[in-house]
Amino acid sequence: MTRCRAALLALLTVAAIMVALSPAAPARAADEGPEQIVNGTFDAGTAPWWSTGNTTLSVDGGRLCADIPGGTANPWDVIIGQDGVPLVAGDTYAYRFTASATPAKVGKALIQLPVDPWTQYLSAAPALDVPGDGYSYTFTAPVSLPNAQVAFQLGGSAEPWRFCMDDVSLKGGAEPEVYEPDTGPRVRVNMVGYLPSGPKKATLVTEATTPLDWELRDAARKRVANGRTSPKGVDASSGQNVHTIDFGAYAKPGEGYTLTADGETSRPFDIGASVYDSLPTDALKFYYTQRSGIEILDSLRPGYGRPAGHAGASPNQGDTDVPCRPGVCDYTLNVKGGWYDAGDHGKYVVNGGISVHQLMSAYERDRAAFTDGQLRIPESGNGVPDVLDEARWEQEFILSMQVPDGKPYAGMAHHKVHDQNWTGLPLLPHLDPQKRELHPPSTAATLNLAATAAQAARLFAPYDAAFAARNLKAARRAWAAAKANPTRYATPDDGVGGGAYDDADVSDEFYWAAAELYLTTGEKEFADFVLASPHHTGDIWRERGFDWGNTAQLGRLDLATVPNALPGRDKVRQSVVAGADKYLAVQRAHPYGLPYAPADFDWGSNNLVLNNLVVLATAYDLTGQEKYRAAVREGMDYLLGRNALNRSYVTGYGEVSAQNQHSRWYAYQLDHSLPHPPRGSLAGGPNSAIQDPVAQRLLRGCKPQFCYIDDIESWSTNELTINWNSPLAWVSAFLADKGEQSACRVRYSAHGSWPGGFTSQIVIENTGRESVDGWTLSWSFPGGQRIRQGWEAEFAQSGAVVTATSLGHNDRIRPGRSVTFGFVGTHDSGPNPAPEVFRLNGDRCR
The active-site residue out of 177, 341, 344, 516 is 344
The span from the CA of 485 to the CA of 409, in Å, is 8
The span from the CA of 732 to the CA of 737, in Å, is 9
Query: In whole angstroms, what separates CA 686 from the centre of its chain?
Result: 13
The active-site residue out of 432, 692, 710, 765 is 710
Residue ranges of alpha helices (H) inside 679-784 are: 693-698, 722-736
Residue 843: active-site member: no
The span from the CA of 337 to the CA of 325, in Å, is 20
Bridge partner list, 764: 746, 819
Under 8 Å between Cβ of 489 and 503? yes
The span from the CA of 488 to the CA of 482, in Å, is 9
Residue 719: active-site member: yes
Under 8 Å between Cβ of 349 and 305? no
The active-site residue out of 692, 719, 737, 765 is 719
Bridge partner list, 265: 260
The active-site residue out of 535, 662, 676, 827 is 662
- Measured from the Cβ of residue 39, the count of other Cβ atoms closer than 10 Å reads 15
Specify the long-range contacts of residues 664-668, CB closer than 8 Å, at least 24 apart: 664/343, 664/344, 664/345, 664/423, 664/424, 664/425, 664/426, 664/427, 664/428, 664/429, 665/306, 665/426, 665/427, 665/428, 665/429, 666/343, 666/720, 667/425, 667/426, 667/712
Residue 167: active-site member: no
For Cα atoms 427, 289, 353, give the angle at the middle one, nearest 5 degrees.
100
Under 8 Å between Cβ of 608 and 545? yes
Residue 295: active-site member: no
Pick from 620, 688, 607, 9: which is nearest to 351 by CA?
Answer: 607
608, exposed or middle or buried, with CB in 10 Å at 0-12, 13-18, 19+? buried
* The residue type at 94: A
SS3 content of the chain, % helix, strand, coil (to 5): 25, 25, 50
Within the chain, what is the greatest distance between any pair of CA atoms? 99
The span from the CA of 822 to the CA of 640, in Å, is 46
The span from the CA of 719 to the CA of 685, in Å, is 8
List residues with catalytic annotation.
344, 662, 710, 719
